[in-house]
Amino acid sequence: MTRTAIITGSTSGIGLAIAHRLAAQGCNVVVNSFSDTAEDHAAAESIAARHGARAAYIKADMSKPAECRALIAAAAERFGTADILVNNAGIQHVAPVEAFPVEKWDAIIAINLSSAFHTTAAAIPLMKAAGWGRIVNIASAHGLVASPFKSAYVSAKHGIMGFTKTVALEIARDGITCNAVCPGYVLTPLVEAQIPDQMKAHDMDRETVIREVMLEKQPTKEFVTVEQIAATVSFLCSEDAAQINGTHISVDGGWTAE
């Protein structure tokens, strides 16, 4: 049976790597963003061509509840099922609490937390009807520990952890699992683009900035790769992980071990 996987926020970075990994394993794949550009559609076409899989791009703004739920419905209409849901979409903003823009708080909570509620609520009935499902929430090391100036992000990711546990308990007898992955610092194109600015700001060379600034809390002093996150998600979606439910896997180089 061919499974259908829906990955939110998946036209670049971690989400795109997850889409490629699941397509390589034979899944139909739905990639998503809010932008609906030629590049977005090309990402889906590239996945299909590379892996011989069926792939589609579906536009949905994860800050809008109705669009979150419509994404699941559209995917199920397109492929007939919605077996795997990976809640990956996320944004970030850094500021002290007293100066944190209200609109940024609202957007981060909506996209990083509430969207997972809406997509999951829409997907569960389809998974129950099929008697099988996998829900994987991309949380963060910040779902387990905090850092200053990231109040909305930390709050949303802690919320995702609680949501994961609650959903897992509710669907435990339905052939469905719900788990979280907690990445540390991942080398995505967005992170890579920050390195030159950090070098200039701290008057450090590239390797020093990575080791002492960006990876200060990551004991291995190495970035997590998007492929490593994708492999972890793939495992949680497998039959081998059928009894892993309501928990998390940290992929953070030891950050949260301290």
Q: Residue 180, CB half-sphere, CA atoms under 13 Å: how many? A: 27
What is the full DSSP assignment across 146-177? --TT-HHHHHHHHHHHHHHHHHHHHTTTTTEE
Is the CB of residue 150 less than 8 Å from the CB of residue 94? yes
Is the CB of residue 117 less than 8 Å from the CB of residue 139? no
User: Active site residue: 57, 105, 153, 223, which one?
Assistant: 153
Is residue 153 part of the annotated active site? The answer reads yes
Nearest to 176 by CA among 82, 79, 105: 82
Is the CB of residue 85 less than 8 Å from the CB of residue 135? yes
Query: How far is 96 from 75, CA to CA, in rounded Å?
Result: 39
Is the CB of residue 176 less than 8 Å from the CB of residue 218? no
Helix (H) or strand (E) holding 222: none
Count of C-beta atoms within a 10 Å radius of residue 233: 28
Catalytic (active-site) positions = 153
